[in-house]
Chain A
Amino acid sequence: MKLIAAIIKPFKLDDVREALADIGVSGITVIEVKGFGRQKGHTELYRGAEYVVDFLPKIKVEIAVDDPLVDQVIEAITNAARTGKIGDGKIFVTDVDQVIRIRTGETGPDAL
């Protein structure tokens, strides 16, 4: 099982969510984050004083999926979240040791 974490532009959340629903992913966790990669921030002025806003608002989407679905999920997220402009984000794939559904106690792929 894998945990897929995608950092995306905030306005792409609905598109990504729909794309995931289309391929059958039903569970998703969403966190508001700030960050930067190569996309530089911008300078703003507050009462005449310049300050730099490096950290840009992004959304982090986390999904736990069974191995066979991983490539599909990556493709779905990439296509939905891409604008072609800098700042589109990144996807990280990590191993998950165990998944448990709290309500029923199911474990492993049954809990996904």
Chain B
Amino acid sequence: MEEPITHLAYALDTFYFLVMGALVMWMAAGFAMLEAGLVRAKNTAEILTKNVALYSIACIMYMLIGYGIMYPAGGNGIIPDISWSFMFMDATGDHAVDAVLASDGETYYSGLADFFFQVVFVATAMSIVSGAVAERMKLWAFLLFAVVMTGFIYPVQGYWKWGGGWLDALGFNDFAGSGIVHLCGASAALAGVLLLGARKGKYGKDGSINAIPGANLPLATLGTFILWLGWFGFNGGSELKVSNIEEANAVAGVFVNTNMAAAGGLVLALITARLLFGKADLTMALNGALAGLVAITAEPLTPTPLAATLIGGVGGVIVVFAILSLDKLRIDDPVGAISVHGVVGMWGLMAVPITNADATFGAQAIGLVTILAWVFITAFITWLLIKLIMGIRVSEEEEYEGVDVGECGLEAYPEFVGTRGAGK
């Protein structure tokens, strides 16, 4: 390639990574709004605090060590040779012009952009956990878990596939992370929820399952649409290149399929809810859209738009039944995170060979089981240690009063607040 075109292509691909990364960052707002809408008013400020804090912790831990584990200096495919250099790398340490030109297209975008694109994925995986443990977990216990998850648990399994480790060598396919991000987050969430227990009043002694409605469905809907938009970055960016005709077409295909899968998921979830409950349950529809997105995330490139719609649609049907089943098992998940990201994440992984001839059901299954086992076990141990050290559940009284007051000292929807201070 001529030199000016190399400059332009590098700039375009770097720009692409940065903008797609920024879209994925926007998903953090989506999760925050979705979760804030589905919890009760008295627990809203705390879950918002959790969301902003976990995003920030993820960025810092990934910068310090996570990135160096996931994209290490070397390694044997299972254990990475951790790289510690990223935290010291500024823009002058990024790829030099001569090196880029000499690489003949191998080095085609900024290293800092690579980090930026990757760090927002860690944050996404971590934020899946916050919804499942909502309304009864101690804030600081959760943040402590976030440190371990983003600094160690996620990066190791990320290394095994995207970092070029043994799952990658095995032929395991996960385009944008149905497994590495979504199943990972859901597995950690499941481990936490099992140790945490259900919210008070959710399950009756007589076996009844009680509804605990969310306080703000407009926020939940807004959050879903924000996630939908952000997902174009999540899947679109994972094509990892846009600067030639083939890649540009591929990216366009990924955008189209991502959108179709969400639409298919939403419609089929809505229909399923209507058939099962007689009503159009908005919250199921929202979960359905997200399920569709999760389902297509493992392979948004090879399907046709029709196939993508169906893959997402199947995800939408699965998620409704998964939500009902988890409640029957008395596993309390206030926002359906484990169902959307875990159960449908597994469907997404296994659906890859349907449209991708290079994938095999065997390799997909091995990847699925590996991620599930690694994350669940390490997360369980981490949650258990935190539980033993400081406890993970708030007191009964705090749960009744609402964690906003207990953990944050303020209310999301304050009323009757006097103007005078405490010194009266």
Contact = CB atoms under 8 A, between A and B. Distances in A.
B415 interface: yes
A62 B214 CA distance: 26
Nearest to A10: B400
Interface in B379-424: 397, 400, 405, 409-411, 415-424
B201 interface: yes
Contact of A44 (B42, B409, B420): B409
B410 A34 contact: no
Contacts of A51: 417-422
Give the size range of A's interface with the partner.
10 to 19
Contacts of A54: 416, 418
Contact of B421 (A9, A10, A49): A49
Give the interface centre of A10, A42, A43, A52 by most chain B CB atoms within 10 Å. Answer: A52
A52 B415 contact: no
Contact of A45 (B400, B410, B415, B424): B410
Contacts, number: 42
Interface string A41-59: 0111110011111110100
A43 B422 contact: yes
A14 B205 CA distance: 14
A44 B421 CA distance: 10
A22 to B, nearest CB: 14
Contacts of B415: 34
A96 B261 CA distance: 61
B400 A52 contact: no
Contacts of B410: 44-46
A101 B43 CA distance: 40
Contact of A52 (B42, B405, B422): B422
A76 B268 CA distance: 46
A11 B416 contact: no
B405 A44 contact: yes
Nearest to A56: B401
A52 B416 CA distance: 10
Contacts of B405: 42, 44, 53
B417 A53 contact: yes
B205 to A, nearest CB: 12
Given A43-B422, A45-B410, A55 B416 contact: yes
* A-B residue pairs, 5 tightest by C-beta: A50-B422, A55-B416, A43-B422, A44-B409, A11-B400
17 contacts: A11-B201, A14-B201, A34-B415, A34-B416, A44-B405, A44-B409, A44-B410, A45-B409, A46-B410, A50-B423, A51-B417, A51-B419, A51-B420, A52-B418, A52-B421, A52-B422, A57-B42
Given A42-B405, A50-B422, A57-B42, 16 more contacts: A14-B201, A34-B415, A34-B416, A44-B411, A45-B409, A50-B423, A51-B417, A51-B418, A51-B419, A52-B420, A52-B422, A53-B405, A53-B418, A54-B416, A55-B416, A85-B397
